[in-house]
Amino acid sequence: MISHIRQIDMSVQTNESHQKGVAERARSFAELFGMGDYGWIMGLLHDKGKEQGEWQRYIQGVTGYNKEYANIKSGPNHSYVGAVIANRQYSQIAPLVAQPIAGHHRGLYDYCDYIEETKRDIPNDVSIDGPIPISLNNLPRFNQIDLHHVVRMLFSCLVDADSLDTESFMEPEQAKLRGSHTSMSDLLKMMETHLLELKATAPDTEVNRIRNYVQEQCVQASQGEGGFYSLTVPTGGGKTLASVLWALNHAVKNNLQRIIIAIPYTSIIVQTASTLKRIFGENNVLEHHSNINPEGINDKELRERLQLATENWDYPIVVTTNVQLFESLFSNKRSDCRKLHNIVKSVLILDEVQTLPLGFYKPIVHTLDTLRRVFGTSILFTTASQPILSGRIEGTNPKASFDALQYVREIIPQELQLYDKLRRVELLFLEGTNSYDEIAEELGKHQKVLCIVNTRRDAKEIYDRLPKEGICLHLSRMMCPAHVSATIEHLKEELKANLDQPIRIIATQLIEAGVDIDSPVVFRQEAGLDSILQAAGRCNREGKQGICTTYVFSLGKEHTLSPGFISQSNNARLNMGKNHDWFTPEAMTCYFKQLHSRIDNFDEKQMQELLYKPECEFEEAARQFRLIDDQTTSVIVNWNGSLHLYQQLISQGPSYSLLKKMSQYSVNIRKRDFEKLQSIGAIEEPFDNIYAITNPGFYKTDTGLSIDNQWLEETFII
């Protein structure tokens, strides 16, 4: 029986060989969480349907192997056959193995569709051997709430094993590019060498002494057993390097296989990945998000290895987005789930954990608990503004409340009061409300100042009113990613040069967390306490100027805050009153309790009803679990050479590589703005669902895409 035919030389891989190869790989993946036998069964049964004579004729005809069957252009569904056999032979554990087999090409089914698939008859020309003996002993202990993740993890083992075995036969040269990674212990040595070099040249300042202390505490805490850890360090305390130092030591101690760092903002991802690549080399750090352009890597073999690694995260260190991580953990698709088994027995660092969306808080927290209990993943939460993650999460009513994590170990003792030792900023809340003109006038009084607002429209309105002397910069997602990155780099260079000229920056929240910008004065439009403290982290970052000020203001003379999360979080802060030391952990706990009390559903897409049961609705849950309710359309813009790429698109047609490059020159716009631009003929559509605005009049070199009146609210970017 034939499974694959390599057309370049008409070599044949038998179905028996392929199934055994997949079974061996799937078993090795699933053994990490105690279900190796299940992986073996799935591998041996997944392609039994290829034994059908109709499918054998199809594969020979479509590849040109046998011209007698050249008129056969499609084959029968073969995935259901192995699922039916598994369902009959292993009725006690059927969904665990039959669901992944049934969906190994099209994705995991909703329960009723899965039942219909496994009711089908086994074709007469398919051989049915006796059941493969398996052990039900020593299984991981899991609860009903974990079941959907166990099925999805087995599905991941199967589809990655299937893809890798197929690749090894069909594209052996490509398959050789995988693997051969640096060990965690060797990466730890690289990190230790890097830190020693830093300390040798770093001045003996209070900030650097605190950073060294944080690293020492991380090394000590890393020797603990797997579980939940928290690294709560104020901005400037060096938590990025300290968290990776903890992760490497913890991985070596507990024999964990990789480090995965999930970050909410692409601006932080790019910065973090760049830092880690300098320490460990590009061959050890995989940067996986929508704005990464692999074509920027000159080494062809390394570029290809990195592109392959995005498929299954088989890399020592992975830096990705919260959206990529959590939407994959709730996906039913083969391509999304393929990488999931590589989270098993790994270290997961969740950076800026306070940004986890509260409408998905319950399923996310439960998922993290499953990863720890069932799959041996250690999880580190890092932030300057620690949210409430353990105990009872109280919402607007008892039905909204839920039990979160049992225990999270804080690495830095609270009694150390790092927030006080690293205090470089005071918050000053401006009385009353302000207009755009008034805020612009205040900003104009300062030689170097950063102003952060909530929406793109507000950023544009204030920027237009700023005096244009010296350096005056605008940053928002009305600018394409390449433009944003170039502007941030230009800003950093100007700040380092420290010339005697004004530097004024108006930005949305994209600059708020993790971007290494240091301004002596910061203005922040009213928002939640966590956002205000993040903005304050851009103020006097290195502590070289005593105590500086972050001013918090309202634009009430222009508009009230729009309904939604920003308004909720701002009200939570206001309800705390005024008598707080805003930088203390106690203030942050008080703030999050206030915020939670305004949330009426921590599971707004009803994951509990869809997944926390034996009859899992995988496909519907995947449709519903979208961290960003993205009602926007991506449009290619005309900035700094993007038209050259656009001409390639017109002449060569779309390709993955070209579209990836062009994503650096795209802006997401809302439906009403898209329709407005379309109505005046500004938007071109060279191919289906690929849009561009090539007229240079619609893109400004300082503020980006220009749309009259309607400006978009800032969102995270996948």
Can you give the residue ranges of every domain in the chain? Answer: 2-175, 184-418, 424-582, 632-705
**Distance between terminal CA atoms of the chain?**
43
Least confident interval from 552-556, 659-663, 676-680: 659-663
Average pLDDT, the chain: 89
What is the C-alpha separation between 636 and 2, in angstroms, rounded? Answer: 45
Residue 63 pLDDT greater than 60, yes or no: yes
pLDDT bin (cut points 50, 70, 90) of residue 423 is confident
What is the pLDDT averaged over residues 31-60? 94
Res 691 pLDDT > 90? yes
- Integer Cα distance of 457 and 714 in angstroms: 9
Q: Which of 212-226, 350-364, 498-512 bottoms out in mean pLDDT, i.e. has the lowest?
A: 498-512
Sheet containing 347-351: order of strands: 285-288, 317-321, 259-263, 347-351, 378-383, 228-232, 409-410
Residue with tokens 């052996």: 172
For Cα atoms 663, 664, 669, give the angle at the middle one, nearest 5 degrees: 65
Distance in angstroms (rounded) separating the CA atoms of residues 683 and 675 = 9
CB 511 within 8 A of CB 538: yes
Cα atoms in the Cβ-side hemisphere of radius 13 Å centred on 16:
3
CB–CB of 339/313 below 8 Å?
A: yes
| Mean local confidence (pLDDT), 691-716 | 74
More confident: 153 or 202:
153
pLDDT grade, residue 710 (50/70/90)?
Answer: very low
- Side chain identity at 541, as an amino acid letter? R
| Residues contacting 334, CB < 8 A, separation 6+ | 103, 104, 105, 106, 107, 159
DSSP 198: H
Which positions ≥6 away from 79 have C-beta within 8 Å?
A: 46, 49, 101, 102, 103, 104, 105, 106
- Write out the H or E segment, with its range, that includes residue 667: strand 666-670
* Eight-state DSSP code of residue 692: E
pLDDT (tens digit, 9 = 90+) per residue, 192-217?
999 999 999 888 888 888 899 999 99
Confidence of residue 133 (pLDDT cuts 50, 70, 90): confident
What is the rounded distance in angstroms from the CA atom of residue 532 to the CA atom of residue 511? 12
b/e 48-74 (16+ beta carbons within 10 angstroms → b): bbbbbeebbebbbbbbebeeebeebee
Domain formed by 424-582, architecture: 3-Layer(aba) Sandwich (3.40)
For residues 388 and 517, give the distance between their C-alpha atoms in angstroms, rounded to a whole number: 28
Helices 94-102, 79-89: axis angle to 10 degrees equals: 170
Q: In the structure, what pLDDT confidence band is assigned to residue 184 with cuts at 50, 70 and 90?
A: very high
Average pLDDT over residues 448-458: 93
Give the C-alpha distances (Å, rounded to integers) separating 174 from 137, 166, 236, 302, 305. Answer: 38, 11, 43, 12, 9
> Token pair of 475, please?
């940053």
Q: Is the pLDDT of residue 101 over 50?
A: yes
Interacting residues of 376 by C-beta distance below 8 A, sequence separation 6+: 32, 33, 226, 256, 344, 345
pLDDT value for 414:
77
pLDDT of residue 542: 66
Please tell me the least confidently modeled range out of 297-311, 329-343, 345-359, 603-617: 297-311
Structure tokens of 167? 């690749």
Which amino acid, 482?
Answer: A
The band of 688, judged by pLDDT with boundaries at 50, 70 and 90, is: confident
Q: Residue 526 is which amino acid?
A: E
pLDDT tens for residues 227-244?
A: 999 998 887 788 899 999
Under 8 Å between Cβ of 432 and 636: no
pLDDT of residue 712: 36
**Helix runs in 418-554, H state only:** 418-421, 436-444, 456-465, 481-497, 529-536
| pLDDT, position 208 | 87
CATH topology of domain 184-418: Rossmann fold (3.40.50)
* Rounded Cα distance, 200 and 659, in Å: 44
Residue 80, CA atoms < 13 Å, CB-side half-sphere? 14
DSSP category for residue 182: P
Q: Chain-centre distance of CA 397, in angstroms?
A: 31
184-418 and 424-582: identical CATH topology:
yes
Beta pairing partners, 455: 713
298 or 710, which is more confident: 298
Q: What is the dihedral of CA 163, 166, 167, 169, to 10 degrees?
A: 160
Cα four-point dihedral sign 117, 118, 123, 125:
positive
**Per the structure block, which two tokens stand in for 702?**
């300082």
- pLDDT for position 271: 80
pLDDT at 715: 34
CA distance 313 to 334: 14
Query: Tokens 């100007």 identify what position?
Result: 494
The C-alpha atoms of residue 614 and residue 604 are separated, in whole angstroms, by 21
- Dig out the tokens for 679 from the structure: 């109505």
Kindly report, residue by residue over 385-414, the tens digit of the pLDDT: 888 899 999 999 888 899 999 999 999 887
pLDDT of residue 514: 53
Spell out the alpha helix ranges (H) of 46-146.
53-62, 79-89, 94-102, 111-117
Q: What is the pLDDT of residue 480?
A: 92
Burial (CB count <10 Å: 0-12, 13-18, 19+), residue 203? exposed
pLDDT-derived band at 709, boundaries 50, 70, 90: very low
- Over 407-448, what HEC string results? CCEECCCHHHCHHHHCCCEEEEECCCCCCHHHHHHHHHCCCE
**What ranges in 351-405 are assigned the alpha helix state H?**
361-375
Helix (H, G, I), strand (E, B) or coil at 210: helix
pTM: 0.89
Q: What is the pLDDT of residue 670?
A: 87
Compute the chain's Rg from CA coordinates: 27
Q: What is the pLDDT of residue 565?
A: 86
Q: How far apart are CA 263 and CA 716, in angstroms?
A: 11
Predicted confidence (pLDDT) at residue 372 exceeds the cutoff of 90: yes
Dist. CA 67–CA 65, nearest whole Å: 6
